[in-house]
Amino acid sequence: MNLPFQIDLKNKVIVITGAGGVICAGFAKAVAQCGAKVALLDLNKKAADVVAEEINAAGGTAIGIECNVIDVPSIEKARKEVTEKLGACDILINGAGGNNPKGSTTKDYLFKEDILNKQEGVKTFFDLDPKGIEFVFNLNFLGTLLPTQAFVKDMIGKEDATIINISSMNAFTPLTRIPAYSGAKAAVSNFTQWLAVHLSKVGIRVNAIAPGFFITNQNKSLLVNEDGNYTDRAHKILNATPMGRFGEMEELLGTLLWLLSSKASSFVNGVVVPVDGGFSAYSGV
């Protein structure tokens, strides 16, 4: 992996949740290349192990750990394993998250006929599953808050201790169809600001990255048809992105490394940085 610039993370223990996914796997490889010892936490341990093996094969230090970020005993078990095998956490990257169809509508807009002449397969706002919404909110918001509660205990008083949360474009302006995910990511952005203030006296900076649109394992089926062409929804996104393309994972690394470096961003605290090709700046006209 070619990094945009190098920072010194030698002997730092970095915990990354959701580390089996495309973006956080890339984050893990980048920080390992900068000398960090990396704990890759994921509900899917096999996915985390694959990334850890790649890092170790390249000369880095990494371990995969199974962790359910909305289950406190699971998080505490992971914390114990991290401490025993790598040492206490210095930096936490909260990358776990995602959406669920039960918290989404099937159409952008509600029309009268959707109510008067209910059609099979059409899910309106009134059909949203409360349990589905709860799952999405918990995964994204509690899945950020609970690991932070656990690992911050080890970070207090450490030099250059930092937390990076992963927000979303949805936190700025919600996309159609996905109210649960949009609301949850807005909560993550708000929590980032709150936590930055709360932890400011114990030497821990807290910031967030809000990626624009990147094709990942989670969203690929929504953005790319089986024939390889973009879906209608993908074209809507591209039309609203001034740069006219999806981002590449590597394009997030400069922002990540900048926020992790105390030399570069020591007075940056409580911000949510969009990396979005201009999406959040574009009004549509």
Contacts for 192 with CB less than 8 Å, ≥ 6 apart: 165, 167, 206, 207, 208, 270, 272
Among candidate residues 109, 181, 230, 282, the one labeled active-site is: 181
User: Cα dihedral sign for 184, 187, 192, 195?
Assistant: negative
User: Which burial class, exposed, middle or buried, applies to 51 when counting CB atoms under 10 A from its CB (0-12, 13-18, 19+)?
Assistant: buried
44 and 89 belong to one structural domain: yes
77 and 167 belong to one structural domain: yes
147 pLDDT more than 90: yes
> In Å, how far are 96, 109, 113, 256, 257 from 4, measured between CA atoms?
24, 42, 52, 11, 9
37 and 72 belong to one structural domain: yes
User: Which burial class, exposed, middle or buried, applies to 203 when counting CB atoms under 10 A from its CB (0-12, 13-18, 19+)?
Assistant: middle
58 and 147 belong to one structural domain: yes
Q: Is residue 236 part of a domain?
A: yes
Catalytic site includes residue 181: yes
Q: Is residue 170 part of a domain?
A: yes
Q: Is residue 34 part of a domain?
A: yes
For residues 46 and 68, what is the distance between their CA atoms, to the nearest angstrom?
14
What's the pLDDT at 64? 98
What is the reported pTM?
0.96
For residues 3 and 113, what is the distance between their CA atoms, to the nearest angstrom?
53
Domain count, the chain: 2
pLDDT digits (tens, 9 = 90+) for 95-105: 999 999 999 99
pLDDT digits (tens, 9 = 90+) for 188-211: 999 999 999 999 999 999 999 999
186 and 237 belong to one structural domain: no
75 and 27 belong to one structural domain: yes
Q: Is residue 188 part of a domain?
A: yes
202 and 238 belong to one structural domain: no
91 and 230 belong to one structural domain: no
203 and 142 belong to one structural domain: yes
220 pLDDT more than 90: no
**Do residues 190 and 208 lie in contact, with contact meaning Cβ atoms separated by under 8 Å?**
no
Look up the CATH number of the domain holding residue 206. Answer: 3.40.50.720
**Do residues 49 and 25 lie in contact, with contact meaning Cβ atoms separated by under 8 Å?**
no
What's the pLDDT at 264? 97
Comparing CA positions, the residue from 47, 45, 58, 1 lying closest to residue 20 is: 47
164 pLDDT more than 90: yes
What's the pLDDT at 7? 98
77 pLDDT more than 90: yes
**Do residues 255 and 246 lie in contact, with contact meaning Cβ atoms separated by under 8 Å?**
no
User: What is the average per-residue pLDDT within 125-147?
Assistant: 97
Q: Is residue 1 part of a domain?
A: no
What's the pLDDT at 216? 86
Beta-carbon count within 10 A of 2 CB: 7
**Which amino acid is residue 268, in one-letter code?**
V
Q: What percent of the chain has pLDDT over 70?
A: 100
What's the pLDDT at 219? 86
Q: Is residue 233 part of a domain?
A: yes
For residues 60 and 57, what is the distance between their CA atoms, to the nearest angstrom?
7
**Do residues 104 and 123 lie in contact, with contact meaning Cβ atoms separated by under 8 Å?**
yes
What's the pLDDT at 261? 97
For residues 172 and 183, what is the distance between their CA atoms, to the nearest angstrom?
10
Domain that holds residue 225: 220-246
203 and 235 belong to one structural domain: no
168 and 242 belong to one structural domain: no
Q: Is residue 91 part of a domain?
A: yes
Q: Is residue 162 part of a domain?
A: yes
35 and 80 belong to one structural domain: yes
What's the pLDDT at 221? 82
- Residue 231 is given by DSSP the state P
